[in-house]
Structure 1
Amino acid sequence: MAWAFLVVAGLFEMFGVAMINRLNKYRNLQSFLLLFLGFGGSFLFLSFAMKSLPMGTAYAVWTGIGASGGAILGMLLYGEAKDWRRVICIFMILGAAVGLKLIA
């Protein structure tokens, strides 16, 4: 169950990152509340995951999901470069997260 919590935390992290972009475009209360919801949910589920997963593993996987997910969202939604080297780096981040799960 801890790994499911960790994935949910990572998805909230991705949402929070997308809401940073929204807040920069639309400086309003709704954007701020969505940002707060995203990162609040992320930290909440990360704390649930860390009750049984080692801190280093949980944090590395959580940041990996957030970083790679943020880059993917940027490419899909915000017109960021889709260079093949970026995609390879994203796969390397995700591969490292899977490797940590297999070891932990």
Structure 2
Amino acid sequence: MAWVALIIAGLVETVYAAALERSATFTRLWPTLVFLAGVSVSMLGLAIAVRTIPIGTAYAVWVGIGAVGTAIYGIAVLDEPATAARLGCLLLIIAGVAGLKLLH
């Protein structure tokens, strides 16, 4: 259950990062509310996860999921470049997160 909470928390991190971008520095109401709700849900999931998963592993996995998810959002929605170097770096993050999960 802890890993499920952690994965959901990481995915929600992507949602609140996207909402942060859309909030225009908290000047737009609905994206700001989505951001605040997302931060709350994501932190709750992380808190649940660290009850049984070591904090270093949980935090790295949470950040990794959020970073990769947000980068993919930027590429898919915001037309950010999908260069081979960027994609390679994302694969390195995924490999690191998978390694932490396997070595847990």
SS state of the match for residue 23, structure 2? helix
Query: SS state of the match for residue 24, structure 1?
Result: coil
Return closer, same or farther for 1:77/1:26 CA change in 2, 3 Å cut-off. farther
Question: Over aligned residues, Cα RMSD in angstroms?
Answer: 1.3
Distance 1:65 1:81 in 2: 19
Letter matched to residue 50 of structure 1: V
Counterparts of 1:18-33 in structure 2, within 5 Å, are 18-24=18-24, 27-33=27-33
Cross-structure match for 1:95? 95
Contact 2:13 2:39 in 1 (8 A): yes
Q: Deviations over 1:10-30 (max 9, x none)?
A: 011000110011101882221
After the TM superposition, list the runs of 4 or more consecutive aligned residues in structure 1 that deviate by more than 4 angstroms.
none
Deviations 1:59-86 (A, max 9, x none): 0000111111111100000010110110
> Is the CA contact (8 Å cut-off) linking 2:26 and 2:32 kept in structure 1?
no
Give 1:37 shift. 1.0
Alpha-carbon separation, structure 2, partners of 1:82 and 1:24: 24
The alignment's TM-score, normalised by the length of structure 1, stands at 0.95
- Please tell me whether the aligned partners of residues 20 and 26 of structure 2 are also in contact (alpha carbons under 8 angstroms): no
Q: Which residue identity does 1:103 align to in structure 2?
A: L
**Residue 63 of structure 1 aligns with which residue?**
63
Find out whether 1:53 has 2:74 as its counterpart. no
**What is the TM-score normalised by the length of structure 2?**
0.95
Point out where structure 1 has 5 or more consecutive residues left out of the alignment.
none
In the alignment, the residues of structure 2 paired with residue 25 and residue 36 of structure 1 have an alpha-carbon distance, to the nearest angstrom, of: 13
**Residue segments in structure 2 that go unaligned for 5+ positions in a row:** none
Q: 1:11 to 1:70 in 2, by over 3 A?
A: same
